[in-house]
A = this chain, B = another copy of it.
Amino acid sequence: MSVPGFVASGVACGIKESGDPDLALVATADGRPVPAAAVFTSNLAPAAPVQVSRAHLAATGGYASAVVINSGNANAATGATGREQAERTCELVAEGLGCQPEEVLVCSTGLIGIPLPFGALVSGIGPLVAARAAGGYAAAARAMMTTDAGPKDVLHVGGGFVVSGIAKGAAMLAPNMATMLAILTTDAEATPAALHAALLAAVSGSFNELSVDGCTSTNDTVIALAGGSAGPRPGLDGLMADVCTELATLMADGAEGATKRARIRVIGAESADDARRAARKVAESQLVQCSLYGADPYWGRIVSELGSSGAAFDPDRVSISYGGVEVCRAGVALAHDQAAAAAAIGAREVEITADLGLGAGTAVITFTDLSPEYIAENMRTS
């Protein structure tokens, strides 16, 4: 797949000891800056590349020519040296592309607190820039991976324009945002402000409705670049949202150790904020995640999480359903088709609805089960 006006590439530069690809580039074909927007982690320990990319976007007023991404090291908790290396990375890419350093954005993903293997990264920039091509998105998506089960590389086609998204993300996935990187490119035309608004809306309805383990990483970044050759397109917002939703679903499906994907939909909350708070508490509950892994329709744990979520709650009004099977009504067990409830929670994709019976607030969070494989993947970094 390709997006008119953009090129991409991915190479192995030696940051990863495995020799797997670990350096990626997405850039405008001519090296000229185009409208750009980004959403960054809310973590107060943002990685060096997050600090640098934020500053670059502010300096250009929302324009960029390229995004360079390394995997295998987060360049986080690396202090002034880390920031200098992120800046130098942008300078070297800018020299290769013939643009200004401030027109390059940078992302990193991998382990936190370990100095960046900067010599390896520098050695890869020449080959990376040389390899850029219209068909390079797949290679870029692959070079962004850490523990991802596979590359995440999608393209949606609208009326006369396209939106592409490549992403990584497999754990530390929580709203605001996941530990995740995503780069969107489109040939539609948009001002930096319009692109930013569209990106915020798309992230809000996708990555921010996803939680794997409640952890919000130091490096989360979503960047959108609008090349403009297709002209202004009213459908851009919707297509960006579709791309983000598909990428978020791919992340949940490929999450570390996950055997199931679930959606908790909270309705009837006193407010939308309450609904989000309640849905997130359920989604991030280790006990609910264990029940999901065991395909056990133990709705009592869901009631307990709702009651301790901080949302307004009346235990005599809540009802809970698995799939379409209501198992709790007015706060107590409801006689129901047990085989149907077991089938609903035994499925690969599980739908849970909690109606708080208090108001009109609704929210949805997608999450995954907690399996022994998650622990196995996360117990050692080396």
Shortest Cβ gap from A112 to chain B (Å): 3
Q: Which of these, B42, B111, B333, contacts A113 with CB under 8 Å?
A: B333
> How many residues belonging to A are interface residues under a CB distance threshold of 8 Å?
66
A211 CB to nearest B CB, Å:
11
A41 to B299, CA, bound (A): 19
> Would you call B370 and A372 a contact (CB within 8 A)?
no
Contact status B285-A215, CB under 8 Å: yes
Question: Which residues of chain A from 276 to 317 have any CB-CB distance to chain B below 8 Å in the complex?
Answer: 284-287, 290-291, 293-294, 296, 298-301, 303-308, 312-316
Tell yes or no: A122 within 8 A of B by CB. Answer: no
Binds B, one of A7-15, A70-78, A130-138, A161-169: A70-78
- The reply on A157 being an interface residue by CB < 8 A is no
A293 contacts which of B114, B308, B316, B379 (Cβ < 8 Å)? B379
Q: Which residue of B lies closest to A314 (CB)?
A: B44
A300 touches B371 (CB 8 A): no
Complex interface residues of chain A between 39 and 73 (CB less than 8 A to chain B): 42-46
Partner of A45, one of B42, B76, B214, B315: B315
**Contact yes or no, A332 B300, CB < 8 A:** no
Question: In the complex, A309 Cα to B314 Cα: how many Å?
Answer: 28
A43: chain B residues within 8 A (beta carbon) = 304, 307-308
Contacts of A382 in B (CB 8 A): 296
Mark A residues whose CB is within 8 Å of B: 42-46, 74, 76-79, 81-82, 111-115, 171-172, 213-218, 284-287, 290-291, 293-294, 296, 298-301, 303-308, 312-316, 318, 328, 330-333, 370-372, 374-376, 378-382
Listed from nearest, the 8 A-B pairs whose CB atoms lie closest are: A112-B300, A294-B379, A45-B307, A113-B300, A290-B378, A372-B372, A45-B315, A216-B308
